Amino acid sequence: MDINYLKALNILEDTKTNLEAIFDNSPTSTFEDEEASYRLQYIMEKLETTEKTLEYLNSPYNEGILQKNNLTGNLFIKCNGYAKNCQLNCGNLLEIFYKNKWYVGKIFLSINGNKSNYYLYGDKKLFLYPGMLARKRF
């Protein structure tokens, strides 16, 4: 990740800490105070989400081809080179390369009778199938 984004991460952390101190010491006795408190809380939540996303994007990952275990039906990433294969579970964050773009989301399992399918839910809902290029961060 570019160093400027890492600098921004430091600024986000400092800003969030400063806003939390103000929030913790501010009254909510009037309508205006309550509205200001609500807006401040909203901003702090967005800062925290952004902070976690930047930390996630800065973490190392294993990349490989998505595979399905024929015995268990579970998904895993068959990693390239020396890396160990990555086991995947429902709720895990996963990145999938689809139509020349990376998508990030959580893995979900859909069961319909005897048939089960895995999906990636994020900005886009994607059906997961063996052969897709995938990344798992740790």
42 and 96 both lie in a single domain = no
Residue 114: pLDDT band (50, 70, 90) is confident
Per residue in 12-57, pLDDT (tens digit) is: 999 999 999 999 999 999 999 999 999 999 999 999 999 998 999 9
111 and 46 both lie in a single domain = no
46 and 84 both lie in a single domain = no
Cα–Cα distance for residue pair 122/113, rounded to 1 Å: 25
**Does an H or E element contain 20, and which?**
helix 3-24
Per residue in 76-108, pLDDT (tens digit) is: 999 876 657 888 989 999 999 999 999 999 999
Residue at token pair 């709720």: 91
36 and 67 both lie in a single domain = no
- The pTM of the full predicted model, rounded to 2 decimals, is 0.74
- DSSP alpha helix (H) spans, 25-128: 31-57
50 and 93 both lie in a single domain = no
Choose between 114 and 129: higher pLDDT: 129
38 and 74 both lie in a single domain = no
Cα–Cα distance for residue pair 119/138, rounded to 1 Å: 20
132 and 70 both lie in a single domain = yes
CA distances, 85 to each of 36, 47, 55, 68 (Å): 49, 34, 23, 12
Cα–Cα distance for residue pair 72/87, rounded to 1 Å: 12
124 and 74 both lie in a single domain = yes
Enclosing domain of residue 14: 3-57
Tell me how many domains the chain contains: 2
90 and 39 both lie in a single domain = no
In the predicted model, is pLDDT for residue 118 greater than 80? yes
- Say which CATH number the domain at 77 has: 2.40.10.390
State whether residue 17 is helix, strand or coil: helix
